[in-house]
Amino acid sequence: MSRLLSEVRYRMRALLRREEMEAELEDELRYHIDRHTEKLVAEGVPQAEALRQARLEFGGVERIRDEARDARGVVLLETTMQDIRYAVRGLRTRKAFTLGVVLTLGLGIGANATMFGIVDRLLFRAPPALIDQASVHRVYLHGIDRGEEDINRNFQVRRYLDVVEQTTSFSDIAAFQTRRQGVGSGEGLREVPVTIATASFFDFFAARPALGRFFSAAEDRVPVGSPVVVLGYDYWQTQFGGSPDVIGQSLQVDRLLGTIIGVAPEGFVGMSDQGVPAAWVPLSAHAHAFRGTTYHTNYNWSWLEMIVRRGPGVSVEEAEADLTQAFRHSWRQAFAAMPGWGAVEDVRPRGTLGPVQLERGPQAGRDSRVAAWVSGVAFIVLLVACANVANLLLSRAVSRRREIALRLALGVSRGRLLRQLFSESLVLAVLGGAAGLLIAHWGGAGLRALYLPADFPAGALTDGRTLLYLGAVTLVVALLTGLVPALHAGRTDLAGTLRAGGREDGFQRSRTGAGLLIVQAALSVVLLVGAGLFVRSLHNVQQFRLGYDVDPILFAWANLRGTSMDDGASRALNLRMMEAAETMPGVTSVALAASVPFWSNEGRGLWVAGIDTVRNLGNFILQAGTPDYFRTLGTRVIRGRAFDERDRENSQRVVVVGEGMARVPWPNQEAIGQCLRIAAADAP
């Protein structure tokens, strides 16, 4: 080891203190020649003759210098540095050329680095501090609904408890959900992401609290739990100034008034896809505050996700078989309590294990597919940039063909010449990579906002994986852009070039350049076709009729945070909210609604005379509102009438159906005047 360290120190000294070592070499050579000269003079040889003989006997000084430099082991690095300095000087003399190439490469590299950071977080990167990612899975429930397979990852507390009780293949099981909730009180109240989780959730991560502790299993015991809160690190810094005195303070989290017992470590997000959690609360305490003491006994509140860790030696197939048996047992219990669930033999429930990355699982959204498509576009842009720069470098190499031929004729090896040409492409690629890094960090913020939560740390300058990818892409770009001019230079005909001015090289360049232009044109056509299809799809989306005016509508609701109200008080509050909204400048219409189209929906069973099972005809979503509901939404009633003041609690029951729904139970008939029952077969 000491010898290795000595070698390293010697080579570093040879590289960093080259002039000093050259001076030492000169002193040593001069010393030996002077001593031999003195010896000859002492023997009676004249001074000038003695010096000449000493030099002859000592041998070629230049040869000795070269051998000494080779012995240092840094010649290749020194010549490479010389080539880079030469390339930098040459590029500085052609600033317009350099700027154009750097910007071209910067756009291509920056676009690819930006999309890599997005795709990496969506598809490949495990949550921070997750232990043994290969054995951790999200849980999915598959079943048959109306003859088609249905996949769900949202579970009831009761079903989670069934899995815990009925399975033996998992060493850890946890349930969680992240949703935006009101945290704090008064002026400090903010709606922020909050993770509701079982105490076992933290066992999946190698994370130690920055302050205090996480909540324990005793504090998450069904049905009540303990009202405790663990703060997110960023929320602790912004709302409490990072004060250690926060432990023991009270904090209102939605309906739960909890005691702060700890602070999560910096950068810890758990499994959240809604942003960095501001707080963590026990599942049992939150569910009890939200639904009372019966939440863990019924199967009608699906809101939790599950993650599991396979036990040692348990395969995925064995774990899924065990999970399926637990789901079937749970389904039988649900069917016994609520026959509407359907029999096990009809639904055929089964459990599967998916990756921890949500966008790689069976319920992946459109974000991952769109991000992959945009990544392909960015890669094509990079190829076009490389072809363009390679053509520019080829043109420059052709203009220098006589210089290259002359250098070869003077004894420069072709290997050294190729290294010098590649050094120039490397310098350009590095400068382009630096420009691409800035583009990815600042210019890519808009793209990241489309796919990632806004508060996730996603800047390229602080992301090690993105930096490594950007460095690898830069090296590949240097090779791709430098390959064509290097091959062109390697085939230089010395005699023909020096004698005829390189007309043959010009002919060869024209063929190679034409090939590069064809590549650019072909890739550009692909980009143009893709861009055209994208613009057409965007136009179609913008023209798609949702049935109501989206832009001018605002949705407001009262978050009572656990405050209990009877029906009369709740109705009075809603009316006061309507009156307050109507007095606001710019508000033209106000209505109360039970849900929001395409965001929160309520499904109810329908019964129509003459049809055995309306449910088999499709999903029917129920909306409810006050008389100004349709006018506020900007929805036109095309036949019949909308609600009005005649439609009160004790008046005739009426309903307005969508045009699409009207064609399903009453094809080729007029829907107005037909009857249906909602929620029960014996309903009015």
Lowest mean pLDDT across 446-450, 530-534, 654-658: 446-450
The angle, 0 to 180 degrees and rounded to 10, between the axes of the packed helices 414-438 and 75-92 is: 60
- At residue 422, the pLDDT reads 81
Helix residue ranges per DSSP H, 502-658: 503-543, 567-582, 629-633
- At residue 66, the pLDDT reads 56
If you average pLDDT over each of 65-79, 376-390, 435-449, which comes out highest? 376-390
pLDDT digits 0-9 by tens, 140-162: 999 998 778 899 999 999 999 99
Residue with tokens 């800035």: 438
Judge whether residue 71 has pLDDT over 70: no
How many other CB atoms are found less than 10 A from the CB of residue 124?
13
Confidence band (pLDDT; 50, 70, 90) for 23? Answer: low
Length of the chain: 684
pLDDT digits 0-9 by tens, 594-618: 888 877 777 777 888 888 777 778 7
Confidence band (pLDDT; 50, 70, 90) for 315? Answer: very high
For the chain, the average pLDDT equals 84
Judge whether residue 510 has pLDDT over 70: no
Calculate mean pLDDT across residues 61-88. Answer: 63
- At residue 507, the pLDDT reads 45
User: HEC profile for 228-276?
Assistant: EEEECHHHHHHHHCCCHHHCCCEEEECCEEEEEEEECCCCCCCCCCCCC
How many other CB atoms are found less than 10 A from the CB of residue 480?
18
The CA distance from 301 to 291, in Å, is: 9
If you average pLDDT over each of 206-220, 326-340, 444-458, which comes out highest? 206-220
Which of the two residues, 44 and 214, has the higher pLDDT score?
214
pLDDT digits 0-9 by tens, 425-469: 889 999 999 999 998 888 777 777 777 766 666 667 778 888 999
Contact 282, 199 (CB under 8 A): yes
Pairing of strands 279-282, 228-231: antiparallel
